[in-house]
Chains A and B, each alone.
Chain A
Amino acid sequence: MIRLENLRKVFSGSTRPAVTDLTMDIARGECVTLIGPSGCGKTTTLKMINRIIEPTSGQITVDGRNAMAIPVHELRRSIGYVIQQIGLFPHRTIAQNIGTVPSLLGWDDTRIADRVEELVETVGLDHEMLGRYPSELSGGQQQRVGVARALAADPPVLLMDEPFGAVDPIVRNRLQAEFHELQDSLGKTVVFVTHDVDEAIFLGNRMAILEMGGILAQYDAPEKILAEPASMFVERFLGGERGLKRLSLLAVIDAGLERGPFVDVTAGPEEARRVMEANAVDWLGLLDGDRLLGWVDGSRVGSSQLRDLEPRSFLVTLDSRDSLRTALDAVVTSHARVAVVVDDGIYRGMLDLEAIAGEVTE
């Protein structure tokens, strides 16, 4: 979908290239994260794709077309662009901001309005915001508008330059998760610049790590890079928590879930005690068929029917799609040193520290 060939940029007044003969292929529907130390040329590389920065030499092919041969404004209208500073147009309403590229492309007003309505849903904004000006929105809302604006004309390619870098960590995590889902459903070809290793791992189907001078140090799927860094540079850049970072790529359901000390409420006291003994714990999880009811203290088992005990709810429950890193955090902070996995009330199993540690060393 995007091919960079021997791409080089030497800024005037500088002797060393910012990007040195970079060659990269980005497949259709793939999200590639560009990452590296500051000044490594990742933003320069991104901005050469829509020619905000003109390359000194080399070839760029976007969707089969030579990017250097088409008028620059035409090229840019076919590429979505999101920047860290968002860059909403302060004198235009949210609706007008989102409709920017369609209106440049000469769509008629009703078609633009329909598209804007659709996008508001897509990025999770309120309809009532459409008539407001950008300064009336929070940072997170503004960045949602930024993403909607980039998607407006349904471009096959999306360039994102640290899009979530300016919002606070909580909003950033939410925007990342939303973008991840959005990308799954839209299947755009995305080039995403970030300096946040976790973000690069979480969002990238592939990760391109650049060294100073825009030299490609490694370009592969995040799990591959984490498992086998190609050089000392990559290893150092990823930092000391490679094992933990790998966990963020694995879903809870990928790990071996155990059934744990769980019994149906119809079980007798005998069975209950046996299950607790087998699991070497002093608490018991209660199920009603598939549904999770909660847990009771071991000392209360036997005094009456399980059905009559009032189960307490677990402090930490996980969804089977949550990452193992989230699970690890949950286990460490939970009272029982376990995390229960529940999808819509249905009990899937439980995870303990050992099961997670097994995934790290694998």
Chain B
Amino acid sequence: MTLVGQAAPLIDWEWIGRNMDQIVERTWEHLGLTAVSVLLGLVISVGLAIIALRWRWTYAPITWVTGLLYTIPSLALFALLVPIVGLNATNAVIALTSYTLLIIIRNLVAGIDGVPASVTEAADGMGYTPQARFWRMEVPLALPAIIAGLRIATVTTVGLVTVTAVLGLGGYGFFILRGLNTFFWTQILVGVVLSVVLATLLDVGFVWLERVLSPWARGRQ
């Protein structure tokens, strides 16, 4: 038995071939959980950022609360939510979303604050209404910072999704957890490697998105 275990190759290509369907399925799950959480996080963050920008005093409490959420260990948060929403995808999305808020809000606010005063003054002087100035000057100029926030939030979320394996979800985390339970290295490696690859691809995607959406910022920094 032990001899057979030692002789088993680190990667069992045959297992991978046999379980291709499941790998694809878990890829979609991983992507889905990530996308829904980050998008939801973005929507909530935009709302909170607009509040923080309009009423400055709210910014400190908003970052304090979202900062607190950020510090809760993920495993504990999933467990805490079980009595409230149950052991399902809603649980996972709530927890994952809450981790994105701090990063996205801070980048949104910093991005808008980073718009040079000379630009807003010139826009006012040219006759922009406050609303037009916000959407056509401040938001486009904050875009690099906003995308940078989404980028960090997304990469973080890809990593955290694996933890949702404890809820019976987990995307690639499913393989990691099952591999750990059965000491089956191929499964662990498939889960880890694909998760890293997914995070890297999304990261590159955001870099590309930033270049396309803000061509004016190219060659600066």
Q: Which A residues between 86 and 110 are near B, CB-CB below 8 angstroms?
A: 86-92, 100-101, 104
Q: Are A87 and B127 in contact (CB under 8 A)?
A: no
Q: Is B126 on the interface with A (CB-CB < 8 A)?
A: yes
Q: Which residues of A contact B128 (CB under 8 A)?
A: 73, 104
Count chain B CB atoms within 10 A of each CB in A74, A86, A91 and give the residue with the most: A91
Q: How far is the CA of A76 from the CA of B124 in the complex (A)?
A: 8
Q: Is B9 on the interface with A (CB-CB < 8 A)?
A: no
Q: Are B126 and A81 in contact (CB under 8 A)?
A: yes
Q: Is A83 on the interface with B (CB-CB < 8 A)?
A: yes
Q: Which residues of A contact B123 (CB under 8 A)?
A: 87, 89
Q: How far is the CA of A180 from the CA of B43 in the complex (A)?
A: 52
Q: How far is the CA of A135 from the CA of B216 in the complex (A)?
A: 8
Given contacts A90-B119, A91-B140, contact A83 B125 (CB under 8 A): yes
Q: Is B121 on the interface with A (CB-CB < 8 A)?
A: yes
Instruction: Give the dominant DSSP class at A's interface.
Output: mixed
Q: Is A336 on the interface with B (CB-CB < 8 A)?
A: no
Given contacts A50-B125, A73-B127, A149-B126, contact A85 B216 (CB under 8 A): no
Q: Is B214 on the interface with A (CB-CB < 8 A)?
A: yes
How far apart are B122's CB and chain A's nearest CB, in angstroms? 3
Question: Which chain A residue has the least Cβ–Cβ distance from B119?
Answer: A87
Q: How far is the CA of A79 from the CA of B127 in the complex (A)?
A: 9
- Using A85-B118, A87-B121 as known contacts, list a sample of 8 further A-B pairs with CB atoms less than 8 Å apart, ordered by residue number in A: A52-B124, A74-B127, A75-B127, A76-B125, A81-B126, A87-B118, A89-B119, A135-B216
* Residues in chain B within 8 A of chain A (CB atoms): 116-119, 121-129, 137, 140-141, 214-217, 219-220
How far apart are A341's CB and chain B's nearest CB, in angstroms? 43
Given contacts A87-B116, A89-B122, contact A73 B129 (CB under 8 A): yes
Q: Which residues of A contact B219 (CB under 8 A)?
A: 135
Give the total of A residues in contact with B, Cβ under 8 Å: 25
Question: Which chain B residue has the least Cβ–Cβ distance from A134?
Answer: B216
Question: Which chain B residue has the least Cβ–Cβ distance from A92?
Answer: B216
Q: Which residues of B contact A73 (CB under 8 A)?
A: 127-129
Q: Which residues of B contact A75 (CB under 8 A)?
A: 127
The number of residue pairs between A and B whose CB atoms lie closer than 8 Å in the complex comes to 65
Q: Which residues of A contact B121 (CB under 8 A)?
A: 52, 83, 85, 87
Question: Which chain B residue has the least Cβ–Cβ distance from A51?
Answer: B124
* Residues in chain A within 8 A of chain B (CB atoms): 50, 52, 73-77, 79, 81, 83, 85-92, 100-101, 104, 133, 135, 149, 159
Q: Which residues of B contact A81 (CB under 8 A)?
A: 122, 125-126
Q: Which residues of A contact B220 (CB under 8 A)?
A: 135
Q: Which residues of A contact B129 (CB under 8 A)?
A: 73
Q: List 30 A-B contacts (CB under 8 A).
A: A50-B125, A52-B121, A52-B125, A73-B129, A74-B127, A76-B124, A76-B125, A76-B126, A76-B127, A77-B126, A83-B118, A83-B121, A83-B122, A83-B125, A85-B116, A85-B118, A85-B121, A86-B122, A87-B119, A87-B121, A87-B125, A89-B119, A90-B141, A90-B217, A91-B141, A91-B216, A101-B127, A104-B126, A133-B215, A135-B219
Q: Which residues of B contact A133 (CB under 8 A)?
A: 215-216
Q: How far is the CA of A52 from the CA of B124 in the complex (A)?
A: 7
How far apart are B147's CB and chain A's nearest CB, in angstroms? 13
Q: How far is the CA of A77 from the CA of B140 in the complex (A)?
A: 22
Question: Which chain A residue has the least Cβ–Cβ distance from B140?
Answer: A91
B214 touches which of A85, A88, A89, A91 (Cβ 8 Å): A91
Q: Which residues of B contact A91 (CB under 8 A)?
A: 140-141, 214, 216-217
Q: Are B141 and A101 in contact (CB under 8 A)?
A: no
